[in-house]
Structure 1
Amino acid sequence: MITHEQIPTVLDHPVYDTDGNKIGDAKHVFLDDATGQPEWVSVKTGLFGTSESFVPIQDASLVEDHLEVPYRKDTVKGAPNVDVDAGGHLSEDEEHRLYEHYGIDWDAAWQQANQPGEGGWAQPGTPPRGVDTSDTAAGLGTARPDAGPDDAMTRSEERMHVGTERRETGRARLRKYVVTEEVQQTVPVRREEVRVEREPITDENRDAALSGPDVSEAEHEVTLHEERPVTETETVPVERVRMTTEEHTDEETVRGKVRKEQIDTEGVDEDRRGT
């Protein structure tokens, strides 16, 4: 449980869930009207802290420089939206809805708070149930009971802080696959054909012509050849392909609404305001 002395340490510090995930930053602490102990903490969540969720603080613990709550991040971000009134006060209906969301027995908690003695309704001087104890309740400046003898009023205003978050926009991958295509190449091929040559009998070949019998039968055979195209394939590397990323910087205009307080005076002479 967080004590009154630890509240300044909790405010504006990170809040983590049971899995060690950061939920957001603590903005306000609300007290239980029965026990006067810290009961709720509001956490700024969402992009740039645009949303505010309420988390029970009874079982939370302060670890080093951050607050750990026994709830998951999605449970906290899904808590019912609560509009805190100008006095920084949670209504009974709003608390009831929050109790149901976090699975806390409302009747049991109410009966425990209603018991006389320590922590019960009999405790005098405790602030109203669900009262914000921070300097700026619900984001607006309010006069604290111990404002001091000068009776000064603090004027506050919101400031917008713009940052960036990295998110995944898509994926690219390299995929290698096989296709078959037709290729064509012309090559010369040779073939043999039979050609009959006749030569007359001359003095030079007469002896060869008369070497055989005068009249006889004979047969002579010639083998013919031709070339045919044949193919074979081989695998050779042709290039290396890889993917890299390039970072480009663009400019975007972010618009938001911030609130600021103005202070008017009543019953003061206009001519003497600046004196």
Structure 2
Amino acid sequence: MAKTMQPQELIDSAVVDPAGNKLGKVGNVYLADTTRQPEWITVKTGLFGTKESFVPLSGAHTDKDGVHVRVDKDAVSDAPRIDADGHLSPEESAQLYQHYGLPVPRTSPDGRMDDRAQGRGTGQGMADAGRGKAGMDGGKAGMSGRGKSEMDGDRTMTRSEERLNVGTEQVETGHVRLRKYVVTEEQQVTVPVRHEEVRIEREPIKDGQRGAEIGEDEQDLVLHAEKPVVHKEAVPVERVRLRAETVTDEQTVSGKVRKEQFEVTDDNGKHRK
């Protein structure tokens, strides 16, 4: 660990792993009790930097592009989640050392492993330790134990919910066929017909007509009659066409959606709005 590292120079610096991946920005700096040198930093990760993960400074060095540490991105992502509340308990420190495979140093006489430098004013020229690069006001004691990003509304949470997106798709619902077939039915049609009948007409002979002879004679008269004659012919009477017609109606669809709700409780278990 480079002895020239100063906490005020580390705050808000980019953190880079050995593969060149940017892990995030430095949120807080923790000092070792024995050497009063930076030993741990917290890296702000996650959406909008809402999470802080502890990263060891053992073997780290600073460069123009940020702080280069010896642990990779996956190790930082899997690091134990410990609240950056201003002090690490011996158990928390041991848990971090074990995760990163580092030897656990001996504790100080009061049992503490390290203290966070930011806003604590620990002496030995460290009164300004943990201040940001822009020069934060050292007189604001109310910022003890909290980084600048936390005071700027870092404790935020996004609420999401599911919504139904309803559309339509065309599906096949059936087939319609048009077919013609032949049936036989009986029809009756009345047709006027004519026929000839014999009628006898008699005419008297006037006086003076003489010379009649007595004998046999006959005449033949042909009679005629009409009879119905049926002829069949096929004629077109109707045309049928199949056509799809679009009609619009309404259907109601339903589905279950999930949504998130906020719940705030204090140490006494009371709900707050």
TM score, norm. by length of structure 2: 0.46
Q: How does the TM-score come out when normalised to structure 1?
A: 0.46
